[in-house]
Amino acid sequence: MQVIRTVQAMQQEHTHWRGKVGFVPTMGYLHAGHLSLFRQARAENDILVASIFVNPTQFGLHEDFQRYPRDLERDLQLLDASHVDIVFAPSDTEMYPQGFTTYVDPRGPLAEQVEGAMRPGHFRGVATIVLKLLQIVRPDSAYFGQKDAQQVAVISRMTQDFNLAIQLHVLPTMREPDGLAMSSRNSYLQAQDRAAATVLYKALQAGQATFMANSPDGPQAVRQAMINVIAREPLAKLDYAEIRDPGSFLPLETLQAPALLLLAVSISTIRLIDNFALIADGTWNTGIFLTQEHF
């Protein structure tokens, strides 16, 4: 496995490649959810590239950029075990050199509502760094997790708008045995918070059940079912409970596929997001529970 630190070296490296190139962008502190992306990408490509970069431009002023978990040595061991060929691990100044002024600034409901409303400027940072990484690595395919559903939708729209010749693969959320979605931020949770965090999965289950019951109150009933579950957990503070179209992120007016049930909840001071997706054929993507093979 080769570790590359500079844009110039990364661009020079891919001139020697032959065959299909798969790419998994990450912010490091890898977990089993990331490993599932590497497995899929490894199976489908001749060359596998991963990036590790904690992107400062997608963090707000009072967010957790400085304390975001980092462990590059451990990450590199996991990447090597996952048969990654190239790891791109640049510095902040390498990706945002002095004089950097050009950003991708997505607009409209897709980028400005739901998570975009809670974290102004977040998707500007996400779209900018993902476009830079795609331009530097030049993969045929890129792999993302369903847990960050709105991020995936923004990136998908960006690749269409800029006519990028890349195929996006969105894999199911990986879950702990009790339903908690895998996230690097789970490492912040103390024991009491960790137990309380399962409320997100329970709330999504309640929303799904209400959806499937075809409540006459429609989307509002689904939202209320999720809200009610969150309200019963003393350590949980709800940011939003939404039911949206997964492409446009406009609110759904009727209970129909496709649909996204979305939650953002703070457990004590730790903010977590999660979702269930109802795809067009009527099947639900609620994630995959961890087993030993996922490690």
Residue that has been written with the tokens 């050199």 in this structure: 97
- Selecting among 34, 62, 83, 169, the annotated active-site residue is 34
Answer yes or no: 14 catalytic.
no
Please give the single-letter amino acid code of residue 252. Answer: L
93: left (phi over 0), alpha (psi -120 to 50) or beta: alpha
Q: Could you tell me the two tokens for 283?
A: 């099947």
Task: Provide the annotated active-site residues.
Answer: 34
